[in-house]
């Protein structure tokens, strides 16, 4: 080899090394989901009496997503995250999976965990699943997660992990009895998982808190910090939020100790808005009397389970040192967007054998570009639905008495002024849009199981959740199926 050839070889190798150095490294992803957290129940949104210093710091140093939409309740929101598809497309749009039911996230739906696993990630799920419990094929470890530690159903007791007398707490399919506080247990496991990482393989850690969902329970050391809050339920709620904030701190500290923080994207999001005002279910009202529910959704109307902003516009931010700016994004982003966005960052394939509704919003988050969504679906059920396009939001209720509501949510974020009569052309436009979305719906599995006489084509229009539009209850089935 002559000197010229050696020079070319050196240049070629050097160029390859430079290209290799410039290639983006797959980020670790830590997705922390709060449960029923009110919009105004974090410090950076002006929380009253509640302290969340770690969450606040991450939010202020990261990008706050102030027009982030989720689904109105627990199961639909988790389904939207997992699939990148609106829950109405596979029957999870209505209510939640209650203990006595036998359906789950359909097994032909591809999950974000499966997509990330295909991209070379280790995948972990901790905490609350709530996407199917009665059959093992619905469990997280059979939906793309290498590891699962937590509960498959909804609001278990924070200490006994029981609901209606039956315990639901497992590690990879083995049911175990552990009486430590729910938040503490999943935090310890998250820290352990992080400490076991060697940095050679990226990981996706989905940490789904039960906090601040009912039953309202908290350790004494946290309750003692909020003795100035007179209402007992609000005091406990504040203590639960503080415990969750400490959990986030422990996770961040573990990432720092392992030297993984700079290449770890942290997302903190609530699955829906809080149970606020009169949003209690009838059974909770028997316990609470006339006291208001504990959450504070700030300027937004409504409670969890409704179609108003208080239910579907949630706390959300992303934090990734040197990759995400300290800024605020007010563009529309939806829970379905995380699958294409995160899988895209991972270098994986977002689309499976079904078309997803989510879009890659990374340019919106990091470059200040407009939302790729012209419109987003809030929800579509056979008896009610809502859609947003631009500044306008339409809510349609077919259950008697039927009602059409139109809001300019940019200028009327509290949805105080129904301007449907003043803008009939906008009503017609958005109603047609909502109907177009609804054409892609399948029958709600909740109603199909409980009320099988409801016809497939949704011609029945006089149906509601026990007459309580803002109900926050997640079902009252007397007996859990035995594992």
| Terminal-to-terminal C-alpha distance of the chain | 71
Cβ 453 vs Cβ 261: under 8 Å: no
Active site residue 483: no
The DSSP line for 98-113 is: -TT----S-TTSPPHH
Residue 133 annotated in active site: no
The two structure tokens encoding residue 470: 């803002």
Burial (CB count <10 Å: 0-12, 13-18, 19+), residue 300: buried
Beta-sheet strands, E only, within 299-446: 316-319, 327-329, 333-334, 375-380, 384-389, 392-397, 403-408
CB 210 within 8 A of CB 272: no
List beta partners, residue 319.
266
Reduce the DSSP state of residue 403 to 3 states and report it: strand
In whole angstroms, give the CA distance from residue 393 to residue 385. Answer: 11
Active-site hit among 74, 209, 334, 383: 74
Which of 45, 130, 209, 334 is catalytic? The answer is 130
Sign of CA dihedral 208, 214, 220, 226: positive
Per DSSP, helices labelled H in 154-281 are: 182-195, 220-223, 232-257
CA atoms within 13 A on the CB side of 279: 28
- Strand, coil or helix: what is 14? helix
Which among 434, 53, 461 is positioned nearest to 248, based on CA atoms?
53
Other beta carbons within 10 angstroms of residue 32's beta carbon come to: 24
Three-class SS state of 409: coil
Between strands 384-389 and 375-380, the pairing is antiparallel
Catalytic (active-site) positions: 74, 130
């Amino acid at each position: 080899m002559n000197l010229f050839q050696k020079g070319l070889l050196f240049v070629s190798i050097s160029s390859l090394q430079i290209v290799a150095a410039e290639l983006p490294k797959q980020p670790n992803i830590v997705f922390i989901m709060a449960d029923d957290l009110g919009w105004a129940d974090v410090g950076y949104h002006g929380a009253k009496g509640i302290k969340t210093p770690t969450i606040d710091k991450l939010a202020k140093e990261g990008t706050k997503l102030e027009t982030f939409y989720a689904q109105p309740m627990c199961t639909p929101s988790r389904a939207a995250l997992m699939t990148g598809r609106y829950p109405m497309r596979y029957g999870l749009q209505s209510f939640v999976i209650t203990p006595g039911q036998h359906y789950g996230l359909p097994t032909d739906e591809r999950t974000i965990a499966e997509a990330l696993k295909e991209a070379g990630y280790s995948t972990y799920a901790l905490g609350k699943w709530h996407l199917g419990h009665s059959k093992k094929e619905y469990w997280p470890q059979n939906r793309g997660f290498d590891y699962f530690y937590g509960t498959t159903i909804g609001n278990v007791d924070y200490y006994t992990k029981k609901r209606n007398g039956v315990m639901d707490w497992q590690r990879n399919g083995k049911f175990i009895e552990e009486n430590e506080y729910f938040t503490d247990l999943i935090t310890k496991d998250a820290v352990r998982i992080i400490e076991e990482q060697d940095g050679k393989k990226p990981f996706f850690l989905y940490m789904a808190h039960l906090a601040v969902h009912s039953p309202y329970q908290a350790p004494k050391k946290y309750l003692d910090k909020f003795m100035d809050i007179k209402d007992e339920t609000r005091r406990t709620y504040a203590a639960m939020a503080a415990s969750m904030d400490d959990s986030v701190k422990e996770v961040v500290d573990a990432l720092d100790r392992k030297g993984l923080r700079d290449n770890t994207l942290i997302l903190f999001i609530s699955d829906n808005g809080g149970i606020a005002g009169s949003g209690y279910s009838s059974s909770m009202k028997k316990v609470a009397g006339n006291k208001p529910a504990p959450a504070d959704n700030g300027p937004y109307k409504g409670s969890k389970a409704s179609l108003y902003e208080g239910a579907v516009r949630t706390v959300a931010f992303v934090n990734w040192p040197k990759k995400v700016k300290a800024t605020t994004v007010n563009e529309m982003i939806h829970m379905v967007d995380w699958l294409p966005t995160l899988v895209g960052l991972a270098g994986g394939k977002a689309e499976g054998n079904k078309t997803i509704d989510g879009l890659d919003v990374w340019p919106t988050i990091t470059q200040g570009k407009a939302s790729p969504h012209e419109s987003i679906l809030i929800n579509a059920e056979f008896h009610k639905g809502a859609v947003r396009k631009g500044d306008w939001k339409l809510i349609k209720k077919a259950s008697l008495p039927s009602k059409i509501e139109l809001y300019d949510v940019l200028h009327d974020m509290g949805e105080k002024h129904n301007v449907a009569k003043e803008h009939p052309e906008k009503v017609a436009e958005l109603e047609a849009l909502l109907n177009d979305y609804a054409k892609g719906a399948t029958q709600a599995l909740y109603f199909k199981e409980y009320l099988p006489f409801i016809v497939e084509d949704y011609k029945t229009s006089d149906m509601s959740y026990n007459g309580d539009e803002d109900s926050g209850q997640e079902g009252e089935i007397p007996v859990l199926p035995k594992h």
